[in-house]
Structure 1
Amino acid sequence: MNILRNNILSNDDSGYDETFLVLYTLPMACKYSENCKFYWLSDERFENSVNLDWPPQFQGKEKYIFIVGSVSINGILCLKHGFTRTYQVVLWNPTTGETKVIPPSPIENRRPDRDSWRFLHGFGYDHVNDDYKVIQMIDYFPDDQDDEDNMVWEDRSYDPLWEIYSLKSNSWKKFDVDMRNCYYYSELRGIGLYTDGVFHWWARSASKNIEECLMSFDFSKEVMFTTLVPLNIDGGFDVGFVERHLVSLNGSIALISNYKKESTFCISVLAKLGVRESWMNLFTVGPLPFVDFPNGVGKKNNILFYIKDEDLVCVDLKTQMIKDIGVRGFSFFTHVGKYKKSFLPIGGIIN
């Protein structure tokens, strides 16, 4: 474990060129009405931030834009705009400016109140068929269950619907998987993480005996599987005030657990997919003052981002020193990830 910890601390992620940042710059009186912005944070100390315009499809409607996954895939980012039935998914290569709008699913609308839909997305590359794919889950919550704390899971009227889009065939197909009424996904957890042909979301069971897990989809095999977390993953921390966030650390799947009451966060790494006992707790950082929310990890793997008093800051995992990056935002909608430049066209052959 010490070898893995030292390896993560001593190396940057050489597979990526820059850190990207999606930031909502929000005044206190109007937290849900301002536009979000896209930045490059290109230098080691994050003192050089460059604001990049969103693609044309989002011009004039720069609200509620999310990047699906925490890394680019062959230079491509998958953008999701909106929460419910008005959502749109666009593939975007910021290096070339090329975009590809993902067409809506042709499956007939079965649900009467479309404003109560919830969408989960994943984006990845199928190495076997040289194809980019988007997986989509449509879930439905009646209006009286929109409050997370008061959901009555047994009374849900509809089962989640899963679909897969293929860029090569430019078509959707139904994905049959028995996950009905099993897991709940928040918008934040829905951002997810892509690694080596597999997309991952953080999820929890909808039963009374709640268990959290990593849910994964393999784009080449088109199979879904889960990895439970050990029962002792939280140690003695208060799990009633914990937030989770998936990140990539030196190519490994990592989970940041932020324990708000203790102003402390822990980082666990998964050694083997599907093996519950292979989660390893690598770091415990804190207590740190005003820890609000972990937002992601940059190109330098020893840097962790979070919001303090609406200021974006970073933490050096070696020294636990805090640095203010000099930009302001709203923690829930701030998203940090890693980007690798590519001049290949979207859908181009990967050698």
Structure 2
Amino acid sequence: MKNETMAYLVYLDDNDASEKVVCPPFQKKAPSNFVVLGFCRGFILFHRRPHFLVVWNPLTGSSKRISYSHIVHRSKPPGPRIGYDVYLHGFGYDASQDDYLLLVAWCDCEGQYHLDCFSLRTNSWVNLDAAVPKHLGIQLLGFRYWHSGGLFFNGAVHWVPWDLKDYRDAIIIFDLMEMTFSTISAPEQLSCSSPSLAQLGGCLALYSRNDDCRNTDIWVMKEYKVHSSWTLYQIPCKDFRPLCLSSNRDIIGRGYTSCGKTGYFIYNVRGDLLKHFNSLCCQLPCRERNNVYTESLLPLPSDIKDKDNKKKMKEIGHQVDHEYFEQPDVAKG
């Protein structure tokens, strides 16, 4: 049976574009469907059926497979599949511990909600006793109200509700260093009801199709957690997903226009179309997941730990050898 799940790396700059198909390590051994869940510092997080997560660095080839079967066995049936169902999840980096963390919010068979965290450094799951913002109550963990995939930005994972008109103060933040929740308020002038989150030029951004169904509104928070810094940009593209900024600080994204153009586009902040790339894999449906990936030679913490353990074992072995050869001389004395 042919596997139609594909992953692409698309390289874009101000003047050129190219692409290549990438093959995750598990595809080489046993082809299967997978979903890209997130990205962080050169690592990509995949979901692989039935209940596995894979962290992978395409540049170095290092990877780590993580099972979340403990959640499946204890959760309300049918067991959740992260990335397919509506349970909250996130992937980020804790600089204080030099550790990559996976977050999963889920509901057990008794209707109790949990927030679990997997540490790549310790290679273990722990249950977090983090206090949910009181004014959100159960709505935070009533998963159907939220985009399940969180955005890692500024040391925290961010989630946004489907309808900010009803929950305008409910951009949820989970700080990976402090292990605490907080919130950010959306701009009062927001006219769209179902926004998504992005990171643009080192700033947090909200974007969604405008109510006129012809433009995409992009709200950029120029200063993090400073409400007055929300700034609006309007892109004349019917369904536009901003991905990053070009070297000229123009907005690169993927979408389709009202006149039928599909692909990757570059717009300036005034909404003028500067470039359209239409010869890439972007001809796939716009609903396909897009993540911004930056190449990195960073190793996984588990790789560092394994190397340290091997080095320690070599040092112990050298010490044993030394003692073995020196001991007879002592005995002779």
Q: CA deviation at 1:246?
A: 1.5
Within a 5 Å distance, the mapping from 1:96-111 to structure 2 comes to 96-104=60-68, 106=70, 109-111=74-76
Within a 5 Å distance, the mapping from 1:265-344 to structure 2 comes to 265-274=216-225, 277-286=227-236, 288=237, 291-294=238-241, 296-297=243-244, 300=247, 301-308=249-256, 309=260, 311-318=262-269, 319-327=272-280, 328-344=283-299
C-alpha change, 1:42 and 1:296, in structure 2 (3 Å) is closer
Counterpart Cα distance in 2 of 1:348 and 1:195 = 24
Answer whether contact 1:304 1:316 (CA < 8 A) is retained: yes
Answer whether contact 1:227 1:273 (CA < 8 A) is retained: no
Counterpart Cα distance in 2 of 1:165 and 1:45 = 41
Structure 1: segments with no counterpart, 5+ residues: 1-32, 143-156
Q: CA deviation at 1:94?
A: 0.6
Choose which of 170, 187, 191 in structure 2 pairs with 1:230: 187
> Once the two structures are aligned, what percentage of the paired residues are identical?
20
Give the equivalent residue in structure 1 for 2:123: 170
Letter in 1 for 2:299: L
**Two-structure CA RMSD over aligned residues (Å):** 3.4
Which shifted more, 47-56 or 265-274?
A: 265-274
Letter in 2 for 1:89: L
Give the equivalent residue in structure 2 for 1:135: 103
Instruction: Kindly indicate whether residue 111 of structure 2 is the aligned counterpart of residue 161 of structure 1.
Output: no
Q: CA deviation at 1:304?
A: 2.8
Answer whether contact 1:185 1:202 (CA < 8 A) is retained: no
Within a 5 Å distance, the mapping from 1:185-196 to structure 2 comes to 189-196=147-154
> Which SS does the other structure have where 2:70 is aligned?
coil
C-alpha change, 1:311 and 1:204, in structure 2 (3 Å) is closer
Counterpart Cα distance in 2 of 1:197 and 1:115 = 27
For the pair shown, the structure with the greater C-alpha radius of gyration is 2
Instruction: Kindly indicate whether residue 86 of structure 2 is the aligned counterpart of residue 113 of structure 1.
Output: no
Answer whether contact 1:264 1:284 (CA < 8 A) is retained: yes
Counterpart Cα distance in 2 of 1:87 and 1:325 = 36
Counterpart Cα distance in 2 of 1:293 and 1:159 = 38
Counterpart Cα distance in 2 of 1:99 and 1:131 = 15
C-alpha change, 1:110 and 1:248, in structure 2 (3 Å) is closer
Answer whether contact 1:80 1:90 (CA < 8 A) is retained: yes
Counterpart Cα distance in 1 of 2:69 and 2:90 = 15
C-alpha change, 1:325 and 1:205, in structure 2 (3 Å) is closer
Give the equivalent residue in structure 1 for 2:320: none
C-alpha change, 1:209 and 1:226, in structure 2 (3 Å) is same
Name the structure with the higher strand share: 1
Letter in 2 for 1:306: R
Answer whether contact 1:118 1:138 (CA < 8 A) is retained: no
Counterpart Cα distance in 1 of 2:288 and 2:265 = 16
Which shifted more, 90-99 or 300-309?
A: 300-309
TM-score by length of 1: 0.69
Counterpart Cα distance in 1 of 2:292 and 2:276 = 18
Give the equivalent residue in structure 2 for 1:7: none
> Which SS does the other structure have where 2:130 is aligned?
coil
Letter in 2 for 1:111: K
Q: CA deviation at 1:294?
A: 1.8
Choose which of 68, 79, 103 in structure 1 pairs with 2:46: 79
Choose which of 250, 261, 272 in structure 1 pairs with 2:212: 261
Give the equivalent residue in structure 1 for 2:15: 45
Structure 2: segments with no counterpart, 5+ residues: 305-333
Structure 1 runs (4+) greater than 4 angstroms displaced: 57-62, 184-188, 271-275, 298-301, 345-349
Answer whether contact 1:243 1:257 (CA < 8 A) is retained: yes
> Which SS does the other structure have where 2:138 is aligned?
coil
> Which SS does the other structure have where 1:56 is aligned?
helix
Counterpart Cα distance in 1 of 2:194 and 2:5 = 25
Q: C-alpha offsets along residues 228-251 of structure 1, whole Å, 9 cap, x if unaligned?
A: 2133222xxxx3xx5422111111
Answer whether contact 2:206 2:220 (CA < 8 A) is retained: yes
Q: Which has the higher contact order (CA 8 A, sep 6+)?
A: 1
Q: How many residues align?
A: 285
Q: CA deviation at 1:172?
A: 0.9
